[in-house]
């Protein structure tokens, strides 16, 4: 297969196999831009199947940039509840406000302006330029990286560096259907070039794939350093079965969200702890949590009591819910 045929092969496969995703069902260019913005922010560190119901609900309740810029935080976070990484929701609202105030209500189409928006980095900017504006940009997400690593059978650390992978993107060539093409490459990574069981005989570019020819499908990754930290969580429940929570201002994760009072402790103290212990994995942290029941709670301005029957009225992060569910079982 000649290199110049690669876009045609990939697009032909995409036209016949693409998923029916809700953010692809727009009715105008303006709606396409909004759908792309919301979906790309939601898809940061979150799988497609998880995002779909949240996207549908979000668009139903916050259908455009104007409504997003004016939505109350409580409603915004309620729409986001369970999706995690709540800073994304806050940044999305800030982005909507800035687009309206600075860019006259038009989502920017160039990298510098897009990266000036809260929560938008190099990858998301590239995805928006390609998908919303049909620009000839191929952003490097996990799916695209995996396809490139297999096509070139990249194994060494220097070979799988971001810098080298960006150079290897030239393999894909160019097409006037850039919006579809970027999504097609990502779709191949998600549906065909899977991490552990690639479906090579369904792949439109298997003839150009060195890993396929060598029957060597292992994908080498540079492991991100995942810190292991230890915490003690204090659980206070009064006579009315209400729990004491704090609006988190102490830790960088879940900023401003309701959490139980907690402190970081040493590994030694954690090992000696007699309370119930659970493990919660965050994006960049492996959290070891020891639960301690206390008789008194500290009087703090950012603290409040919440009853079990009131939980549905609050936007609680999954982190807090996991601890609460553990407490209820003990």
Q: Looking at the annotation, which residues are catalytic?
A: 40
Any idea what DSSP says for residue 220?
-
DSSP string, 37-78: HHHHHHTTTS-HHHHHHHHHHHHHHS-SHHHHHH--HHHHHH
Q: Which residues pair with 290 in a beta bridge?
A: 232, 277
Kindly state the tokens that stand for 8: 């045609």
Least Cα distance to 95 among 86, 84, 85, 106 occurs for: 106
Assess contact for 230 and 88: CB atoms under 8 A: no
H or E element that contains 277: strand 277-281
d(CA 125, CA 113): 9
3-state class (DSSP) for residue 276: coil
Residue 141 has a CB neighbour count (10 Å cut-off) of 20
DSSP 18: -
Alpha-carbon separation of residue 25 from 28, 34, 118, 183 (angstroms) = 9, 12, 26, 14
């Amino acid at each position: 297969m000649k290199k110049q045929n690669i876009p045609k092969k990939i697009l032909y496969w995409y036209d016949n196999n693409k998923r029916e995703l809700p953010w692809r069902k727009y009715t105008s260019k303006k709606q396409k831009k909004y759908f792309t913005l919301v979906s790309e922010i939601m898809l940061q560190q979150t799988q497609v199947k998880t995002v779909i119901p949240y996207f549908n609900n979000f668009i139903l309740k916050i259908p455009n940039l104007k409504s997003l810029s004016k939505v109350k935080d409580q409603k915004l976070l309620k729409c986001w509840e369970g999706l995690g990484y709540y800073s994304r929701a806050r940044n999305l609202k800030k982005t909507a406000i800035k687009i309206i105030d600075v860019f006259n209500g038009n989502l920017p189409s160039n990298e510098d302006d897009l990266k000036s928006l809260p929560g938008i980095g190099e990858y998301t900017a590239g995805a928006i330029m390609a998908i919303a504006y049909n620009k000839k940009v191929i952003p490097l997400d996990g799916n695209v990286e995996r396809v490139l690593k297999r096509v070139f059978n990249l194994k060494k650390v220097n070979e799988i560096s971001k810098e080298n992978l960006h150079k290897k993107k030239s393999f894909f060539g160019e097409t006037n259907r850039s919006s579809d093409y970027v999504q097609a490459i990502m779709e191949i990574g998600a549906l065909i070039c899977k991490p552990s069981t690639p479906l090579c005989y369904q792949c439109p570019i298997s003839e150009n794939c060195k890993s396929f020819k060598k029957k060597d499908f292992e994908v080498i990754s540079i492991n991100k350093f995942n810190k292991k930290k230890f915490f003690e969580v204090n659980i206070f429940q009064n006579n009315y079965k209400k729990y004491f929570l704090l609006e988190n201002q102490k830790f960088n994760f879940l900023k401003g969200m309701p959490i139980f009072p907690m402190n970081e402790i040493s590994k030694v103290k954690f090992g000696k702890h007699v309370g119930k212990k659970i493990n919660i994995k965050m994006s960049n942290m492996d959290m070891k949590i020891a639960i301690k029941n206390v008789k008194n709670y500290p009087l703090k301005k950012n603290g409040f009591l919440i009853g079990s029957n009131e939980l549905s009225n609050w936007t609680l992060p999954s982190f807090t819910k996991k601890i609460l569910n553990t407490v209820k079982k003990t």
